[in-house]
Amino acid sequence: MFPPTRIRSCLPVMNPLFKQRLRPHRPFRQTSSVHQTKSVNLQKTKWLNFRSIFTRWMPLGSVIYVGWCYIRASINYEVSKVEIRFYELFPFRVTSRIWGKIAACELPVSLRGFVYGTYVKMFNVNLNDAAVTDLSYYKSLSAFFTRPLREGARYIAPSPCVSPCDGVVLNCGPANTDKIEQVKGVTYSLEEFLGDNKWSKKKSEDYYNSLLTNKENILHQCIIYLAPGDYHRFHSPCNWTATFRRHFSGKLLSVNPWLARLIPGLFTMNERAVYVGEWKYGFFSMTAVGATNVGSIEIYSDPELRTNTKGKRNRVNEADLQVTYQKGDLFGQFNMGSTIILLFEAPKDFKFDMAAGDRVLVGQALSLAAKEQTR
């Protein structure tokens, strides 16, 4: 088709093209160090500027410190005061407010199933107890956290005092002194936790005795920890009347059980709403304790309560109340897991039908119902 003379005439033009294509690949070699110094400087500035303190160093330090605390908890290590002070310096109140705003943001319907489904798997959430099991119904994470129970999901026992929430018992039993165990071997001060006794007409130099209305009785306590996967609303544990409220605007340290074993007086440091009143045996108090990433504590009968707000940590707000609760009535809700502490007056033979580490549900009897009913 092509004559040989034509092919020979094209060879001088084609040969250079073939040589250029078949030339072996040569790796790129940097001839100057300018680009290298720029990349090194960029890496340094990422870790040394002011922004990196909040975006890199603080998250990294938090992960390392929490991991170290977990290791020490497993070997019964006692935390020093310096370490506690260092842990308190972390801006948990700021991060908790940010998390609260993020959790309150409305999610697109297309993402709700994936986001809530992932949360359900991570924290073993029991959706069968929820009033609405359709995940697309909940507009935000906050709405999903505070989901209501379906009717009949919990049985209210006939015992005079029942569990106010779902969770794990950290400690329960008699509180005979001003120093009360938050977990085994770790205590907190009763006076620091409740504050000055302004609600009682009885005057006594001894703080413990000033709380009791009957000298034959003693105080009992029950501490219940709500995990992130638990039902986040809490109810009235008995028939009682709340007459006083004191809000401590404290810190927002984690109240995880293994961390509660490391920090003495953890519940006296954290933000908490203390409700004090009377029940059939005398003094009764119910306290909602805040924790890390708890956007707010809401009490349905006390709309004036505002938690996790800007300002000094040592603020104390007080209010007189006159609210009567029936056993099982809705009391309030956490926007994330936290802790409920019951401190109440009862006879010395009052016995809890549970122990530390047991899991309880709303309405479950705290004491042996048969013995209580015979009194």
Task: Give a three-class secondary structure readout of 103-140.
Answer: HHCCCCHHHHHHHHHHHHHHHCCCHHHECCCCHHHCCC
Q: Does residue 327 have a pLDDT over 90?
A: yes
Helix (H) or strand (E) holding 227: none
Q: What is the rounded distance in angstroms from the CA atom of residue 312 to the CA atom of residue 373?
A: 47
Q: Does residue 238 have a pLDDT over 80?
A: yes
Q: Does residue 371 have a pLDDT over 50?
A: no
Please give the mean pLDDT across all residues of the chain: 80
Q: Does residue 317 have a pLDDT over 70?
A: yes
- The arithmetic mean of pLDDT across residues 109-122, rounded, is 90
Which range is least confidently modeled, 16-25, 178-187, 208-217, 230-239? 16-25
Angle CA 81–100–234, to nearest 5 = 85
* 8 Å CB contact between 135 and 107: no
The pLDDT score that the predictor gives to residue 181 is 77
Q: Does residue 305 have a pLDDT over 60?
A: yes
The pLDDT score that the predictor gives to residue 373 is 47
Catalytic residues: 166, 235, 338
User: What b/e string do you get for 50-89 counting C-beta neighbours within 10 Å, with b at 16 or more?
Assistant: eeeeeeeeeeeeeeeeeeebeebbeeeeebeeebbeebee
Select from 233, 229, 237 the least CA-distant residue to 150.
233
* 8 Å CB contact between 152 and 363: no
Confidence of residue 80 (pLDDT cuts 50, 70, 90): low
